[in-house]
Amino acid sequence: MRGYLLIYLLLTATLGLAGPADTIDTPTYYESAPGGTVRFFYDDRYYLTDKRCPFKSIERVGKFDFRQQQFAGEFVDFDNQGRAILRGRYADGKKAGQFTAYHANGQLKWEVTFVDDVPRGIWAYYYPDGKPLLEVAFGADGATIRNFWDARGRHRVVDGNGRYEFEVEADGYNEYGYVRYNRRGKVVDGRPEGNWIVEYVFEDGEKTGAGHEYYKRGRFIRGYEAYTDEAFADAPRYRLLPLDVFDRAPLMISKSCTIDEYSGFSFFLAERLDAWFKNDLQGLVEPQPIEFRILVDENGEPRHIEARRTFTDKRAASGLLAALHTVDFWFPSFAGGQYVEDTLTLTADVALDTADQSVHFVNIRIARENGN
């Protein structure tokens, strides 16, 4: 799978993964801090993670009301080098007042004012050198793009009109291996107009056409996915504006300290299996656990898949095995300073919802015999 093995190489080299990351018996997601504050530990996508996990990237220090399960008052988020990356304030569990984010070099990244948890006025973004990047206006009619400057400092969107092009970070795992996607199109009165091109951007900077979306007076009309040759008209699938996941912090969603959890691969796998059995519950009569063993080589390619525990109905069991065979990349195990062939054990629980004829694969876990 292009891109993902390179990303994993970068992760293991940067984070120093030398032993099994899932050997943390009792994770520590938060601890007391001076002045009645609490220190919370997150990965770079603001999922709670163990303080000893190599994927920990952010520490939030602030007051927390455990009875109401919400942040209270001012907080500061720090990166692993102790640099402040976000400052803000909560009132009654809602974002209130000015929120300010910083680049790693200390330069202002963005600033915005929240009123009762909702952004108001101008959300201003800046490049790492301090020059303006983007201004988005928030009001009663939603968000509009007011001004945009490209990396060369050219004012491309002026007072809501012009040409816009911006790369948005991908949030979670995708099977194509892109790490960002590029959006470009025309802006009229602050809203997208006409045909907007979507390009996938890979770790090495290579771009490839991924499709397009069509807008009329800011309203999404239709779209097309080039990789799957799929037309869609329900809703846009790609963001126009920068992705900031800090709002995930109050949800207190935790992840295990494994590459499969951290990358979002486990969630991707659950969605893939759910979709395979959509509107087809024949042979699935009760919730049940499943277990498979997958032989994965050092490049992440599956060599053999064996069912250890599966559906009793032969048709359903065959479908589940077929669904797993559509997954052509699994994160390879890392041991002794290199990637190795290993046997992965996949376990999950299967929950049935007969009301909407859906199957849900939950509690997905991937264990490795010889590495992490």
pLDDT digits over 175-209, tens only? Answer: 999 999 999 999 999 999 999 999 999 999 999 99
88 and 122 both lie in a single domain: yes
Question: What pLDDT is recorded for position 292?
Answer: 98
Q: Would you say residue 17 lies in a domain?
A: no
Range of the domain at 173: 28-251
Q: What is the mean pLDDT of residues 346-356?
A: 87
pTM: 0.90
CA angle 367, 263, 74 (to 5 degrees): 120
Q: Would you say residue 137 lies in a domain?
A: yes
pLDDT higher than threshold 70 for residue 320:
yes
236 and 361 both lie in a single domain: no
247 and 339 both lie in a single domain: no
Q: How many CA atoms lie within 13 A of 151 on its CB side?
A: 4
Question: What pLDDT is recorded for position 253?
Answer: 96
pLDDT higher than threshold 70 for residue 102:
yes
Q: What is the mean pLDDT of residues 97-126?
A: 97
Q: Residue 327 — very low, low, confident or very high, per pLDDT cuts 50/70/90?
A: very high
Terminal CA-CA length for the chain: 19
Q: Residue 20 — very low, low, confident or very high, per pLDDT cuts 50/70/90?
A: very low
Q: Would you say residue 282 lies in a domain?
A: yes
Q: Would you say residue 12 lies in a domain?
A: no
Q: Would you say residue 83 lies in a domain?
A: yes
263 and 246 both lie in a single domain: no
218 and 280 both lie in a single domain: no
Question: What pLDDT is recorded for position 11?
Answer: 52
pLDDT higher than threshold 70 for residue 107:
yes
143 and 244 both lie in a single domain: yes
78 and 194 both lie in a single domain: yes
Q: Mind giving me the DSSP string for 284-352?
A: --S-EEEEEEEEE-TTS-EEEEEEEE--SSHHHHHHHHHHHHT----PPEEETTEEE-EEEEEEEEEEE
Give per-residue pLDDT as tens, 29-52. Answer: 999 999 999 999 999 999 999 999
pLDDT higher than threshold 90 for residue 313:
no
pLDDT higher than threshold 50 for residue 288:
yes
pLDDT higher than threshold 70 for residue 316:
yes
Out of 196, 231, 251, a domain closes at: 251
Total structural domains within the chain: 2
The per-residue pLDDT of the chain, averaged, comes to: 92
Q: What is the mean pLDDT of residues 228-242?
A: 95
297 and 281 both lie in a single domain: yes
139 and 279 both lie in a single domain: no
Q: What is the mean pLDDT of residues 290-318?
A: 95
pLDDT over 90 for what percent of the chain?
84
36 and 94 both lie in a single domain: yes
Out of 235, 251, 267, a domain closes at: 251
Q: Would you say residue 345 lies in a domain?
A: yes
Q: Would you say residue 69 lies in a domain?
A: yes
Out of 208, 234, 251, a domain closes at: 251
* Distance from C-alpha of 3 to C-alpha of 266, rounded to nearest angstrom: 18
Question: What pLDDT is recorded for position 141?
Answer: 86
Question: What pLDDT is recorded for position 358?
Answer: 81
231 and 297 both lie in a single domain: no
Q: Would you say residue 189 lies in a domain?
A: yes
Yes or no: say if 69 and 56 are a contact pair by the CB < 8 Å rule.
no
Which has the minimum average pLDDT: 162-176, 313-327, 345-359?
345-359
Give per-residue pLDDT as tens, 136-168. Answer: 999 988 999 999 999 999 999 999 999 999 999
pLDDT higher than threshold 70 for residue 8:
no
DSSP code of residue 130: S
Question: What pLDDT is recorded for position 353?
Answer: 80
pLDDT higher than threshold 50 for residue 13:
no
152 and 271 both lie in a single domain: no
* Distance from C-alpha of 43 to C-alpha of 31, rounded to nearest angstrom: 16
Q: What is the CATH number of the domain that holds 286?
A: 3.30.1150
Backbone angles phi, psi at 219, to 5 degrees: -100, 130
